């Protein structure tokens, strides 16, 4: 069957399911998520076998250690997927929730009420957990979904989608709530992005090239999960031990994810913090690249080139820029930020508050690791992505961000004069 025909059929099935799904009881949708969490453990051996096939293929292609880590499913990550589903299941049902209400002088009662978006297409790379997280969040919010994962995780994604589909059917949700496109060719992405007669939203998660390509062809509205060019600024005064701990966590704990720090900006007066951070990261095996000022302090660093300030490494590599002022740090961040996450490490409360005001990213931190930019860490249970847009949704997208609203008006016979 031609690629276009397969994509249309999956999208059509999801569209048909969405019409019934929006009218289901919240308890039934939550039960489907609990059932899926159970099935993840029952199908553990099958999931692990599929993931082993994907990992073998990825290793043959020469993927980096960081990307292999993103691809890997082990017992702990499987439990994290299941726990995310259980947490989302326990959230209040968003559908029908009254956002606000008021009464007009003529007696009309007006409410703004949450409703599903409809059908959401999710295009993603590398991380199989997105299959479960995205499907779970969509179902909780009353949306059907069409998933298209990356070729490197195809076997794992197909099994995980099968688990979600089985859970839906066993709890009486309509067939087609969770659809997955089993095609690795990029043509499938382009076809999906143009099906505005079936889809209400596309969320692309992946590299900059993928997101740009989707936006160029899409007739469906797109919310972008842009690259995570995350930056941390170490202010002129700070707790050096804290700075070392935060930067280490943000770079080393899991370097292949979007909320890992890629650029460190350090105030020139805080040489103690700069040296301590460099010593710690070197011991952890991080490749460090420095600007001219940084290298005048620590001469044996590799020189940073202009391209480094705009590079998302997703690896144990970090670029360091030393600046003369707070203002210079904020200017550097604004010039190179992808709008996802930035942080300041400082002992001065006023500097921290100013940073929160002036840095325009989805998530802005004072004295905390940027690795917390995550739906689960924010108490959202999971996330469908981290939006770097400003319209409709921004930052980690949980259940509420997957709803729209409608106005409900109750009258007693009023007519407009």
The CATH number of the domain holding residue 306 is 3.40.309.10
The pLDDT value given to residue 385: 81
For residue 182, the model assigns a pLDDT of: 95
CA distances from 176 to 38, 170, 172, 180 (A): 21, 13, 12, 10
Cβ pair 400, 114 in contact under 8 A: yes
Residues 164 and 272 reside in one and the same domain: no
Q: Tell me, what's the pLDDT at 256?
A: 84
SS3 call for 24? coil
Give the residue with greater pLDDT, 204 vs 323. Answer: 323
What is the overall mean pLDDT for the chain? 94
Residues 144 and 162 in one domain: yes
Beta strands in 160-260 (DSSP E): 178-180, 201-205, 230-234
- The reply to whether 300 and 174 lie within a common domain is no
- The two counts, helices (H) then strands (E), for the chain are 14, 16
Same domain, residue pair 160 and 256: no
What is the structure's pLDDT at 379?
84
**What was the pLDDT predicted at 135?**
96
Q: What is the mean pLDDT of residues 118-144?
A: 94
**pLDDT value for 391:** 84
For the chain, the C-alpha Rg in angstroms (whole number) is 23
Cβ neighbours for 110, distance < 8 A, ≥ 6 positions apart = 101, 102, 103, 104, 407, 408, 409
Give the residue with greater pLDDT, 414 vs 209.
414
Per-residue pLDDT, 162:
97
Q: pLDDT tens across 268-282, in order?
A: 999 999 999 999 999
Average pLDDT over residues 356-360: 97
Any domain includes 160: yes
Q: Is 385 part of any domain?
A: no
Residues 84 and 219 in one domain: yes
Token look-up 């930056």 returns 231
At residue 8, does pLDDT exceed 90? yes
pLDDT tens string 132-184: 999 999 999 999 999 999 999 999 999 999 999 999 999 999 999 999 999 98
Is residue 211 domain-shared with residue 250, that is, in the same domain?
A: no
What percent of the chain has a predicted confidence (pLDDT) above 90? Answer: 86
Domain match, 97 and 168 both: yes
**Residue 162 resides in a domain:** yes
Mode of pairing for the β-strands spanning 363-366 and 341-345:
parallel
Q: Are 274 and 232 in contact (CB under 8 A)?
A: no
Helix axes 271-283, 240-252, angle to 10 degrees: 40
Residue 70 has what pLDDT? 86
CATH of the domain at 57: 3.40.605.10
Residue 380 belongs to a domain: no
Gap between the Cα atoms of 242 and 238, Å rounded: 8
Q: Which residue has the higher pLDDT, 66 or 251?
A: 251
Task: Report the C-alpha gap between 60 and 417 in whole angstroms.
Answer: 74
Considering the domain architecture, whether residues 153 and 240 belong to the same structural domain is answered as no
Flag the least confident range among 33-47, 144-158, 388-402. 388-402
Q: Work out how many domains the chain is built from and give that number.
A: 2
CA nearest neighbour of 273 among 236, 300, 299: 236
Q: Does 25 reside within a domain?
A: yes
Q: What is the pTM of this model?
A: 0.84
Which range marks the domain in which residue 215 is found? 3-223+397-410
216 & 236 share domain: no
Co-location of 166 and 250 in the same domain: no
Domain for residue 392, yes or no?
Answer: no
Q: Is 51 helix (H, G, I), strand (E, B) or coil?
A: helix
In this prediction, residue 201 carries a pLDDT of: 96
* pLDDT score for 224: 81
Same domain (yes/no): 168, 219 = yes
**φ, ψ dihedrals at 90, nearest 5°:** -85, -5
Residues 351 and 401 in one domain: no
Q: Is residue 21 part of a domain?
A: yes
Measure CA 61 to chain center: 25
Reference 152, options 184, 179, 121; nearest CA is 184
pLDDT of residue 178: 98
The per-residue pLDDT for 384 is 81
Task: Give residue 81's pLDDT.
Answer: 94
């Amino acid at each position: 069957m031609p690629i276009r025909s397969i994509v249309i059929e999956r999208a059509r099935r999801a569209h048909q399911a969405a019409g019934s799904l929006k009218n289901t009881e919240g308890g039934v949708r939550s039960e489907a998520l609990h059932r899926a969490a159970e099935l993840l453990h029952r199908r553990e051996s099958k999931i692990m076998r599929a993931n082993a096939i994907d990992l073998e293929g990825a290793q043959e292609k020469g993927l980096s250690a960081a990307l292999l880590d993103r691809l890997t499913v082990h017992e702990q990550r499987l439990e994290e997927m299941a726990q995310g589903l259980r947490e989302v299941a326990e959230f209040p049902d968003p559908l029908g929730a009254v956002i606000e209400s008021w009464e007009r002088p003529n007696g009309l009662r007006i409410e703004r009420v949450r409703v599903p978006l409809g059908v959401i297409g999710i295009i993603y790379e590398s991380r199989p957990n997105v299959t479960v997280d995205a499907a779970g969040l969509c179902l909780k919010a009353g949306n059907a979904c069409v998933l298209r994962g990356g070729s490197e995780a195809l076997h794992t994604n197909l099994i995980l989608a099968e688990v979600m589909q089985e859970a839906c059917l066993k709890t009486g949700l309509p067939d087609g709530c969770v659809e997955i496109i089993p095609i690795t060719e990029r043509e499938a992405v382009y076809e999906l992005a143009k099906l505005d007669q079936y889809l209400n939203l596309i969320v692309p998660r992946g590299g900059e090239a993928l997101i740009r390509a989707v936006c160029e062809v899409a007739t469906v509205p797109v919310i972008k999960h842009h690259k995570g060019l995350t930056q941390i600024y170490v202010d002129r005064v700070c707790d050096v031990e804290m700075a070392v701990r935060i930067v280490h966590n943000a770079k080393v704990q899991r370097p292949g994810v979007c909320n890992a720090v890629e650029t460190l900006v350090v105030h020139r007066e805080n040489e103690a913090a700069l040296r301590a951070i460099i010593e710690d990261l070197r011991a952890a095996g991080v490749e460090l690249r420095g600007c001219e000022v940084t290298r005048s302090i620590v001469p044996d660093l590799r020189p940073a080139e202009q391209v480094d300030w705009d590079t998302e490494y997703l690896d144990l590599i970090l670029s360091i820029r030393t600046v003369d002022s707070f203002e210079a740090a904020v200017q550097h961040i604004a010039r190179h930020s992808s709008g996802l996450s930035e942080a300041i490490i400082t002992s001065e409360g006023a500097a921290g508050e100013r940073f929160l005001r002036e840095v325009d990213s989805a998530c802005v931190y004072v004295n905390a690791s940027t690795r917390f930019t995550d739906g689960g860490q924010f108490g959202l249970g999971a996330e469908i992505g981290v939006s770097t847009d400003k319209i409709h949704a921004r930052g980690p997208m949980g259940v509420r961000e997957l709803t729209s609203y409608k106005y409900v008006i109750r009258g007693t016979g009023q007519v407009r004069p």
